[in-house]
Every structure is written in C-alpha cells, then in structure tokens.
Amino acid sequence: MDANQLTTTAKQMVADGKGLLAADESTRTITKRFGNYNIESTERTRRDYREILFCTPDAAEHISGVILYDETIRQEASDGQPLVKKIQDAGMIPGIKVDTGAKPLAPSGEEKVTEGLDGLRERFQEYYKLGARFAKWRAVIDVGDNRPSTQCLKANAHALARYAALAQENNIVPIVEPEVLMDGTHDIDAHYRATEAALREVFTQLAEQNVLLEGMVLKPNMVLSGKEASKQAGPEEVAQKTLECFLRTVPAAVPGAAFLSGGQSDQQATENLNAINKLAPKVGAPWALTFSYGRALQDAALRAWSGDNDNAETARKAFFDRAVATAQAARGKYAA
C-alpha cells in the first residue's frame, strides 16, 4: 500500500469546487433510464451516451473523477481509444464500481446487505491495470419500523470496511458509501438517527480493518425528510442536521465527503449542497463537502441527447451547465 499515492488521489477527488460524476449505472439501471426517453439500450448506445459526457470540453474544471461500470471501463470510444484514456486525457480520474449489488439479508430478508467480496482482490488488480485509481461500494440502509436493525448496520459496515482495506492494499482509493435511503414517510429526525447509527458503525469497522482514513472518500446521504413525508425539510434544515450528524460521527482525518443525490431532483440536490457548504465554515467542518451525483448531473443531458448523436453538443451543454451549477454549490456560491 502506497499511503502517499492514496492520500494524494483522495485529495484530488475532493479538490475545491470539484466533485465526481457517477456514471456507474448497471446495464439494467441505464436501460430503465433510457426507456424513459424511448432510447434503445445497446452496448453502442450506452457507449455513445457516456462518451458524450466524458468528452465534454472543460468538464475537468468541475469534475475531478468519473465512476465507471465494468462494461464501460473496458469500452473504446468511437475513435478507437479506450474511454479510460479519454477521461485521463481530459484531466479526470477514472474510478470503478465493484460491488455486485444489494441482496436480501438472511434470515428475514426484510433488509439488504451488499455483496461482492469474493475475488475482489484479483478484480482490483485488473481494474488498476485498466486505469482505475478509485472504487465505489454502496450499502443500502432502509428507514422504517425497527429499521435499520443492528444486524443490518453491522453486516453492511463490515463489508464496506473489508472492501476498503482491499482497495487500499491495491493502491485504489475506496469510496465508502453507506446510503440511508430517503424512501418512506419518516421525518428528518428519523433519518438523522439512522444516518448517525450507520456512520458510527462504519467508522468503527473501518478502524478494525486498519483502513487509512486519509486515503478514502466518504459518499454519504444528506439528512433528509422521507420522500413521502408530509413535511419536507428545507435546505437550511437539511444543512444543519447533516453537519450536526457528521460532526458527531465523521473523523477529521477523512479528506472529504462526496454526497450522493439519492433520489433528489437535480435542483434539490444542488440547493441542499449549497446550503451545506454555506453553513460548513460557520460550524468548523473540517472536510471538503462536495458531490458524487448521477441523475442530478445527467438527467438534463440524457433528455437533450434522447438517443440521437446529432444532439451531442446540446447534451454536452446541458451536462456542463449542471456541472457548473453543482460545482458552485460545492463552494456555497450557487445562486438559483
């Protein structure tokens, strides 16, 4: 493990005013999104769409790295160059999603645990050769009656920590993503309690697995009201609750947190991130607080493209505009 390489890469990932593009949708997920715009999902159309995003001029001014799916990290661009090289040449860092998805947690099956540890060391070695310098593993934690359970929290945190240790062993920065879902009718206080419990357990397990905190990036949820809650917290309350929770649970040694959008609209995700970064200096937050967005960066571009490469420039402009706005929010300087 090269601690210097890991810490340098982690800092680059959360550099001031920059964040991550999450383009790691599984084939099933991107096919579903394509379907919303009547776009056929083939290996070529998926490549074409992602190439549009990766080759957007000046994207690297606002995007530090790109999370890829296994199919994508192996693909070539339309000119025959590897997509990974396109990303590198643009000044961004390639990353890779490595978990194999959330599966029912035995014995009840009511909660989920993320799988993918088998053979992970060997996969990391291959991904490093393919150009990946960071990775992502997502745990899914539900909020509801008697949820999350201690069993769910411990199982997911342990898997996250083992993944992170294996990543660092292979000089790959682990993105640690314990996502406490916003699905449900719960209020923001219930989401706060679940998020606090999840983060406490995750950092306990990371310590037990000797993970270098300076060489990782946290990908957390914001503390939010449930999607179906009758009362929806505004950006200022989201910021206050999120930072209060982090100050109680996230060690200062972690260089940064790249928030997931987690089902928020692009506008909501931007406004909440902006509020968090406006408040952060006032409460002494020691970390960079940026973004790792998928839909919140991509939806406008996907709609503009609609499967027609003649719309590539329009799609690039839509993506770039969202990247600019989100990067402004990462500095607390976004104005709607």
Would you state the structure tokens that stand for residue 248, as one six-digit string? 């109680």
For residue 129, indicate whether it is catalytic.
no
Would you state the structure tokens that stand for residue 152, as one six-digit string? 């769910």
Q: How would you classify residue 116: left for phi > 0, otherwise alpha for psi between -120 and 50, otherwise beta?
A: left
From the candidates 51, 111, 177, 196, which is the catalytic residue?
177
Cα 334–Cα 93–Cα 42 angle in degrees, nearest 5: 95
For residue 241, indicate whether it is catalytic.
no
Query: How, if at all, do strands 63-68 and 173-180 pair?
Result: unpaired
From the candidates 18, 86, 97, 219, which is the catalytic residue?
219
Query: How, if at all, do strands 112-114 and 63-68 pair?
Result: unpaired
Rounded CA separation 39/57 (Å): 24
Give the distance, in angstroms, between the CA of residue 157 and the centroid of all CA atoms in the same chain: 17
Phi and psi dihedrals of 82, rounded to 5?
-60, 140
Query: How, if at all, do strands 173-180 and 93-97 pair?
Result: unpaired
Closest CA to 268 of 301, 292, 238: 238
Residue type, 178: P
Cα 138–Cα 68–Cα 56 angle in degrees, nearest 5: 130
- Which residues, 6+ apart, have CB-to-CB distance to 83 below 8 Å? 47, 50, 51, 54, 68, 72, 73, 75, 76, 77
Closest CA to 204 of 250, 151, 170: 250
**Got the DSSP string for 255-310?**
-EEEE--TT--HHHHHHHHHHHHHHHHHHT--SEEEEEESHHHHHHHHHHHTT-GG
Active site residues: 177, 219
